[in-house]
Structures are given as C-alpha cells and as structure tokens.
Amino acid sequence: DSGVTQTPKHLITATGQRVTLRCSPRSGDLSVYWYQQSLDQGLQFLIQYYNGEERAKGNILERFSAQQFPDLHSELNLSSLELGDSALYFCASSDRLAGGYTDTQYFGPGTRLTVL
C-alpha cells in the first residue's frame, strides 16, 4: 500500500458526460501528479500540482482540468468524454517541489474509466 488513495475504483459513463476523479496523497506529501495509462499510449504524464498550485503540464487535453485543494487532495475533471478517454487514471504523490532532488513518486491504485 503506497498510502495514496483514489476514488472511485471504477467508473462507467457515456460519451459527452463529465466525471471527477479524486486523489488523496500520502500524508505529508505536497505534490500530486496525474497520469493516464492507455493500451496505445502507455503511461503519460498529465499534470502536477504542488501545495495547491499548478507546476507542470504534460499531454493534458483542454477538456481535462485538475485542482488541488487546501487539504492537499486533488481532483481530475474530465468533460465531454469520448470513447478514447477510456483508460486507467493514476495519481501519484511526492513531498518536494519539482526541481528538488529524487522526488520519488508513489502511485495510487488508479481509477478505471470506461466511456461507452
């Protein structure tokens, strides 16, 4: 158990809908990262937050957004869902600002999103 929790574990929805994925980082960790894992793209970095502020963006679609709250939990919002958004979404956390050294990321169990 990494200490990172994600809810829900599974999510099934229809095209065009909007969903919210939730992540609670390990106790004390200030950074939260979101990754998408699909069969054709592998594990892809989406976005990072540190202590409530966005720090880095990767291959995140404009239909997707995220935020980190004062209690450090994070939410990933996916809107106007398409079939191709079906994937595993992982959250990871670490304890230091990007740019620090060996900022090991620990991953949660993921949310499996199925868009029908």
Partner 1 sequence: GESVGLHLPTLSVQEGDNSIINCAYSNSASDYFIWYKQESGKGPQFIIDIRSNMDKRQGQRVTVLLNKTVKHLSLQIAATQPGDSAVYFCAETYRAAGNKLTFGGGTRVLVKP
Residues 83-112 that bind partner 1 (CB under 8 A): 90, 92, 94, 98-110
| Range list of H helices, the chain | none
d(CA 45, CA 27): 22
Q: Pick the closer one to partner 1 by CB: 16 or 42.
A: 42
**What's the closest the beta carbon of residue 97 comes to partner 1, in angstroms?**
8
d(CA 107, CA 89): 10
d(CA 6, CA 4): 7
**What's the closest the beta carbon of residue 74 comes to partner 1, in angstroms?**
15
The answer to whether residue 43 forms part of the interface with partner 1 (CB under 8 A) is yes
The answer to whether residue 33 forms part of the interface with partner 1 (CB under 8 A) is yes
Nearby residues of 46 by Cβ (< 8 Å), 6 or more positions away: 33, 34, 35, 36, 57, 58, 59, 60, 64, 66, 76
The answer to whether residue 42 forms part of the interface with partner 1 (CB under 8 A) is yes
* Single-letter amino acid code for the residue at 43: L
The answer to whether residue 31 forms part of the interface with partner 1 (CB under 8 A) is yes
- Which segment (12-20, 40-48, 67-75, 76-84) binds partner 1 by CB under 8 A? 40-48
**Which residues here bind partner 1, judged by CB under 8 A?**
2, 4, 31, 33, 35, 42-45, 48, 55-56, 58, 90, 92, 94, 98-110
